[in-house]
Amino acid sequence: MKVPIPRIARPHRSAYSSRVSKACVTCREKKIKCNGSHPCCGCISNATTCLYTAGKRENTSRRLAELESQIRLYKQLLWHLQSKVNACDRELISRTLDQVTTSCSNMIYTWLTL
C-alpha cells in the first residue's frame, strides 16, 4: 500500500527569481544580477552609467535599413551617370539597375517573411 508523502508548501519561485531578457553592459561585465530597470540597481549602487545594447533583431533591422539606403544612393548615382556615358556603358548600367532592383526586391521579401 502506498502512502502519500506530504509536501511542504513553497512560495512561487518567480517572485524570488525574476529574469530579465538582457542585462545592462555594466552588470554583464561585472557578472552581477541585473534587475532590468533603467537605471538598474547594480548601476545605482556602483554609481555607474546604465546602458543597454540593442538586441540582435534591432541590429539586423538597423543594418537592413542602412543597406537599403546605400542601394538607393548607388541607384541614383547610376541613373545620373547613365546619360553621360557611351551607348555600351549605358546598356551595362541599365542591365545592372534592372538586376539590382530585382535582387533587392527578392532579398527584402525573404527578410520580411523570416
Burial of 103 (0-12, 13-18, 19+ CB in 10 A): exposed
User: Which region holds residue 100: left if phi is over 0, alpha if psi is between -120 and 50, else beta?
Assistant: alpha
Model pTM greater than 0.85?
no
Q: Residue 21, CB half-sphere, CA atoms under 13 Å: how many?
A: 5
Task: Decide if pLDDT at 15 tops 60.
Answer: no
The model's confidence at residue 69, banded by pLDDT at 50, 70 and 90, is very high
Residue 21's pLDDT band (cuts 50, 70, 90) = confident
